Homo-oligomer: A and B are copies of this chain.
Amino acid sequence: LINLEKVTIIGSGYWAFAFARILSDAGTEVTIFSIEQEVVKFFKENRQHPKFTEYTFSKNVSISDDKDVIKNALVLFWVIPAQLMKSAVQEYQNLFNPKQIFCILSKGIDIETDLTMSEILEKYGSIKPSNIAVLSGPNLASEIIERKPAATLIASSSLSTAKKIAQLCNSPYFVTFISDDVKGVEIAGDLKNVYAILAGLIQSLDFGYNTFSAVLTRALKEMILIGDVLGAKTETFYGLAGLGDLITTASSPNSRNHTLGYKIGEIIKSKQNLNIKELLASSLGVAEGYYTTKAAYEISKKNHLDTPLLNCIYEILFQNAKPYQTLVNLLDQKISFE
């Protein structure tokens, strides 16, 4: 069996398929590697994902459960949940070669090791940084798959690697920018989930645009403070992977983190007892922002950072603070220099 595919996406979810469509619209042939038999079978028969059959994919997109599509790929796009990344990298590590480029679309930090996704690839896949890129921006899969215009940022310590990825996916509705701040892009993509929880909460409590905008503005300042401790560049937070992603994630009712905050608000309004653990267990999928809140709070505390919004979310999620009162306390501030 000779496998000619050169670009492979690892993942079977919405974002994996939306991104496959970007690549195929950019003229790139792509194979989706999926271990979900049902998805593979359905796609082979219908050129559709079984869960969103309204989208039919072009011939540029194929699917396979054969690991050779990992082995033979020149570029591997990783679009799996963050917490599955470590085991996947360990499992497929013997298929990698030094010429391959790895582009990460997964967002989050590995809870067990506190490593970012690029660090997981470096450590467990023995991949050198110049062969790693991360892609992030205000990119809701549900809009991308409808070909609504979006922009994204691709970062790599090697700008030629970043450019290569950008060329592969630059399409009429997907504008690509490049950067060398891998760390900043990863940290921003992770931290924004914390504030998306808060945005969901204030939205469910009907606080209005003024509160929303003030919270996002102050949130960005906090993200920069935390990112600075972790070695991220400030300018990255002002760009697509920082501010851009923050606005989209905090605005859209489709994100898990926003939904978590929104549900907390609904529970308060209905005067029910708030039990965060129960809420997390009952909601669909993992809200990465829950774990990130804890990690970020510890960093903030250790470094004496001024992060009242983060503290507010932490107290609500981990210290049984009453959400409404905690938010009101947040406003009771002394006049300070911006």
Q: Does A56 count as interface, using CB distance less than 8 angstroms?
A: no
A138 with B217: CB separation less than 8 A = yes
- Enumerate chain B residues within 8 angstroms of A176, measured Cβ to Cβ: 335
Complex alpha-carbon distance, A214 and B338, angstroms: 25
- Enumerate chain B residues within 8 angstroms of A243, measured Cβ to Cβ: 213, 216-217, 220, 243
With A209-B143, A251-B209 known to touch, is A332 a contact of B172 (CB < 8 Å)? yes
A178 with B209: CB separation less than 8 A = no
With A214-B244, A243-B243, A244-B217 known to touch, is A209 a contact of B167 (CB < 8 Å)? no
Question: Which residues in window 283-314 of A have CB below 8 A to B?
Answer: none
Which of A211, A246, A336 has most B Cβ within 10 Å?
A: A211
Q: Does A238 count as interface, using CB distance less than 8 angstroms?
A: yes
Question: Which residues in window 184-234 of A have CB below 8 A to B?
Answer: 206-214, 216-218, 220-221
Complex alpha-carbon distance, A236 and B338, angstroms: 8
Q: Does A245 count as interface, using CB distance less than 8 angstroms?
A: yes
Q: Does A89 count as interface, using CB distance less than 8 angstroms?
A: no
Q: Does A88 count as interface, using CB distance less than 8 angstroms?
A: no
Nearest chain-B residue to A234 (Cβ)?
B238
Question: Which residues in window 245-263 of A have CB below 8 A to B?
Answer: 245-248, 251-252
Complex alpha-carbon distance, A213 and B338, angstroms: 24
Complex alpha-carbon distance, A239 and B175, angstroms: 27
- Enumerate chain B residues within 8 angstroms of A337, measured Cβ to Cβ: 177-179
B335 with A140: CB separation less than 8 A = no
- Enumerate chain B residues within 8 angstroms of A244, measured Cβ to Cβ: 213-214, 216-217
- Enumerate chain B residues within 8 angstroms of A148, measured Cβ to Cβ: 206-208, 210-211
A336 with B177: CB separation less than 8 A = yes
Nearest chain-B residue to A252 (Cβ)?
B209
- Enumerate chain B residues within 8 angstroms of A268, measured Cβ to Cβ: none
Name 6 extra pairs, CB < 8 A, besides A151-B210, A179-B338.
Answer: A137-B210, A149-B208, A175-B333, A177-B338, A217-B239, A217-B240
Nearest 7 pairs of A and B residues by beta carbon:
A138-B213, A150-B210, A151-B214, A217-B244, A213-B247, A143-B208, A177-B338
A-B contact pairs, 5 of them (CB 8 A): A138-B209, A146-B208, A148-B207, A167-B335, A209-B252
